[in-house]
Structure 1
Amino acid sequence: MKDYYHMKVIALLGVIGLVFASQSVCYAQCLTKVSRSTNKTEYYQVVQLVDKKEYLSLSRTGEEKIFTYHNEEVELIFHVQMFTEIRFTTKSGTFSLFTTTSDRNFWNKSFMLSSPVTPQELEKMKGTSKIEIILPEERKIYTFSPKSNQILNKALACVL
């Protein structure tokens, strides 16, 4: 009888543990899609900046993690800079990512800057208060409220 009681307690604790674990997993839920080029599953999360035309995305395919800035309204038709700086201001200081490619063409109206990121850089992004995109003709500055920082942290949890 004593063993039956212990088994019930252990099972109940297991169920409680699963409930708490599923709540934290739900918080960090990622969107998924299958890449047409590699046929691998890509996990990603989108962070709106101003409206639906300007946003960040963080994605993970296997061990590769990518930070991407999307803007459908930027005036640059073709961007040929060697490096574009994306500067993050966080609670722990300032750091930069440098992109070496940008994508924009006549049939895709979204301008994108992409950069691979390390787990250490993703950790540094927590607590971001400002992101600056330094383009040749302009500087785009986005400030993060505590609520928008929560959304960014959800995206970071998705790819970490």
Structure 2
Amino acid sequence: MTTSPLSALPLHSRAHDKAEAHDGEGPVQRAAELAALHRAADAGQAAAAWVRELAGRQESEDHARALEHAAAGIERASHQEVIPGGSGELAEELRYALAADVLLGATHTVTLPDLAPGERMPLVAVCAIAAAMPSCVLGDLPRELTLLADELDAATAAGRAATTGLAW
């Protein structure tokens, strides 16, 4: 008596149907995630470039370094820290670099960074939005990250408008 070759085949299950359905959506989902990741990285680079412009006009090297540190944090939080499948948490040093106290500059100085009132709010917004980006991996990454990237661009544009409107 021989064993039927059919017994070696896996049994059909609903879990298998769900896995196949998910795999069918996989490439589309991955493409959407990749597009959102690129969008966020581009927005982060543009925001960081504006913050570096703010750093470049500081008379105090300490304030310039604080703003440069924030710019590097914006780039990292909007790109390298957005890890699909990751924890969605922002590294401690980035939380510090992107905190609202970037408006105060270097803490040991007795002066504030040279920022116009129209630049302060966009600077805080840029830092806060960048800090929120890594958490998108815990939800609907393409939708949430694209929305944050759009808001990051809007905050950067507001900051650039304030900077351009000033006679430096």
Give TM-score scaled by structure 2 length: 0.32
Tell me which protein shows more helix as a share of its residues.
Answer: 2
Q: Which protein is richer in strand relative to its size?
A: 1
Larger Rg: 2
Higher relative contact order (CA closer than 8 Å, sequence separation 6+): 2
Normalising by structure 1, what TM-score?
0.33
